A and B are shown apart, each in its own frame.
Chain A
Amino acid sequence: MPEVKLVNVTKRYGRIVANDHINLTIKDKEYVSVIGPSGCGKTTLIKNIAGIIEPDEGEIYIGGRLVNKVPIEDRGIGYVFQNIALFPHMTVWDNITYGPRVRGYLPEETESLAKEMIEMIKVSARTDAYPDELSGGTQQKTAVARALMTRSKLLLLDEPLGALDLKVRAALRYELRRIVKDLGLTALHVTHDQEEAMSISDRVVVMRKGKIVESGKPLELYMRPKNIFTANFVGEANFLEGIIERVVEKGSIIDLRGGLKIVSRDKNMKVGDRVVVAFRPEFAFLGKKEGENILSGNITGIVYLGSLVRLHIELPNENIIIIKRALRFSESLPKIGEKVTISVSPENVLMYPYPERGLSRELSLE
């Protein structure tokens, strides 16, 4: 039942508008992540919902109830922070049962719930261990169990995996999602890691400068971002400037710098409009493919990334594009200086109006 609804939520710090008229609904049992560059207001957003700070304007509803001015402990939420906040002098068991004990809940009831939670989070360590005897990952899982002891159906996660090693982080993603889904919780998760957000959530909200830029299912956001900022922020992309030369049945033909042409399936603008086209490095193939955009250029760099290789290709108009290929069994790759041809399907070429304040400003992550 804990649907979360924010209506025109605004929070200012002096002249800075950290949250600027945010409207957002998180459905019951939905797992939503919020991403955005440092300073975009994502942490302020989660603190507003938790009740750690009060918005200057707007309303916050949890499960249909207006919770502005309701103190944090009465909002029915579980909260997990980046900095693992276990009590160092208490065992795992005492940490987990702390909340119910100080609230004076029945010992038997607390005990059975705690056992259930420990089972759920799969803490492999002994429950009589102290936090400093546990790995970072296990400590953070214990913190999740403690947050769940409030019997809250709404879990707020503020960079919950931020303090952990990458490998641990990747493993805990699955765990977090599993716990949330198995218990039927609603979760809001703030992270600076796009991949984490993509893999863990039902929906990802992208913020920038206090506002929501866009939100959508991870795959949609990646494949069909509605604006340039999102296209760049949720993953790498090649951006090329151009002018629409013709609009035909299959899409728009765009004149790039230096007389190169590219076709996008998008048709939402008109002839003569200045545009930016974008395509992801992994959607470009080496070689010629019938019916696709064919571009050729010289390899200027090759970077191996384990299972992948990144090729830097300089086009005849001096634009440099990057393509990414999976290293397949016995596949031979071009060398630096070699001339190659690549194909990109018009389906995978996104088209946007040229940004008013210029392209590089729109791509800036700082």
Chain B
Amino acid sequence: MPLVRLVNVTKRFGKIVALDGINLSIKDGEYVCILGPTGAGKTTLLRIIAGLLEPDEGEIYIGEKRVNGVPPEERNAVYMFQNFALFPHMNVWQNVSFGPVIKEWSPQKIRNVTSEVLGMVRLGERRDAYPNELSGGMQQRVALARGIAAGARILLLDEPFGALDARLRVNLRTQLRSLVKDQGLTTIHVTHDQEEALMVADRIVILREGRIEQIGSPQEIYNNPQSIFVMSFVGGANFIDGVVSNMDNSGSTVEIRGRLYIRVSDTTKKIGERVVVAVRREDVSLGKSRRRDFNNLVGEVEDAMFVGGSMEYMVRLENGMSISSRILLEGGSKVFRKGDIVIVSFHPDECRVFPYPERGLLKEIEAI
């Protein structure tokens, strides 16, 4: 039975529909990431679950109980933190015991719960420290401990690593995930960082303009994006505009700009249909010779950037189009330079074909 359930939840701010008929069930113990660009409605969704906002329509259930109209402090399974908002004038012990104290538990119970929870997050020895004496990672653990001590079973995280150094973020993510998993907590984590979502989530919910665009495990989302938007937002890809010019049992041929042809394995479209062929950057290889059974296009390296572990290339093709390729450097990989003439290869099986979007391609992939 799901622990958190949203049925047809809609929220408007004036003319803007921030959430538009959201249906979502989250299982007990699940780690779910809500992923989407700025303005997609992610924070609104989280605030509605927390009880900080009331939806205009629809129902919210926590366990079997309908919680519409129930104030946040009485949805006591839920705990939300953003920027690890600790009380700066209270030490670790006081911060963590805050919930039990205001709930007027017995002093004995408060002591037991607080020290047990501090032990869980491995901060028993820092009980007298003040927040500003702790590292970012420790503060985060204190905030988590405070939530658990207050009886939370559901954690709501809004961009919890937003302000931190990129390298540190990677470490904290994995720590946080194993901590909440060890405690059997249910976590709903809002982020705009696709890599973060892929790394920590059991399931990812892609939100766009107030609607759910796709739900799935990180692998499903990455391997089977249901739309150009999802493919572009998670992982990114080259999107090539074209028309299906031929089809047989093994696939189709798509004519692209400059009378070039791309072979794809997809056979679900019609001859003459306008389509978008999508190829992941990491599925595009560069070389000096043509690869058998691959699409091979000739181009000139326009830009070669080292992005820490991988090389990212921008290649201008003979038809004037640019295509990007991302290659993990694995010891002896060949590195190309700006100006090199290369053969760009990708396999027909790695080409995904989408119908040309109604509102235009740019609208689906626009970043800036």
Contact = CB atoms under 8 A, between A and B. Distances in A.
Contact of A198 (B219, B303, B308): B308
A266 interface: no
B321 interface: no
B99 to A, nearest CB: 27
B172 to A, nearest CB: 10
Contacts of B198: 304-306
22 contacts: A37-B168, A137-B368, A165-B367, A167-B194, A168-B367, A170-B236, A174-B314, A194-B167, A198-B305, A198-B307, A199-B305, A222-B306, A235-B308, A280-B309, A282-B309, A282-B328, A282-B329, A283-B331, A326-B282, A347-B331, A365-B165, A366-B168
Given A166-B194, A195-B166, A218-B308, 11 more contacts: A165-B37, A166-B195, A198-B307, A199-B305, A199-B312, A305-B195, A305-B198, A306-B194, A324-B309, A324-B328, A366-B135
Interface in A155-196: 165-168, 170-174, 192-195
B358 to A, nearest CB: 21
A20 to B, nearest CB: 20
B271 interface: no
A113 to B, nearest CB: 23
B136 A366 contact: yes
Interface string B336-368: 000000000001011000000000000000011
B309 A194 contact: no
B280 interface: yes
A304 B218 contact: yes
Contacts of A192: 164-166
Interface string B113-149: 0000000000000000000000111000000000000
A174 B331 contact: no
Given A218-B306, A326-B282, A365-B165, A308 B330 contact: no
B235 interface: yes
Nearest to A310: B199
A308 B193 contact: no
B170 interface: yes
A303 B135 CA distance: 27
B367 A195 contact: no
Contacts of B167: 37, 194, 232-233, 365
A235 B309 contact: yes
Nearest to A39: B165
B11 to A, nearest CB: 22
Interface string A189-211: 00011110011100000000000
Contacts of A168: 367-368
Contacts of A194: 166-167, 308
Contact of B328 (A136, A167, A308, A348): A308
Given A192-B165, A366-B135, A307 B306 contact: no
B192 interface: yes
Contacts of A141: 368
B368 A236 contact: no
B171 interface: yes
A135 interface: yes
B33 interface: no
Nearest to A137: B368
Contact of B234 (A236, A306, A308, A365): A306
A346 B171 CA distance: 27
Nearest to A330: B349
A219 interface: yes
B38 interface: yes
